[in-house]
Copies of this chain bind each other. A is one copy, B any other.
Amino acid sequence: MSTNSRFAVAVHVLSLMAWSGEEPLKSEQVAESVNTNAVVIRRMLLDLAQAGLVVSQTGSMGGSRLATDPAKTTLLDVYQALECGGVFSLHRQPPSRDCPVGVNIETVLGEVLQEVDSAVELVLKNITIDDVVQRLKPCGTLTNVKNPRVGKTPAKLNGRVNGKVAKVLRTA
Contacts and interface: CB of A to CB of B under 8 A. Distances in A.
Interface of A: 1-5, 7-9, 11-12, 15-16, 19, 32-36, 75, 84-96, 98-105, 107-109, 111-113, 115-116, 119-120, 122-124, 127, 132-133, 135-136, 139-142, 145, 148, 150
A88 B2 contact: yes
A86 B5 CA distance: 12
Contacts of A4: 1-2, 88-89
B99 A136 contact: no
Contacts of A113: 8
B116 A16 contact: no
B87 A87 contact: yes
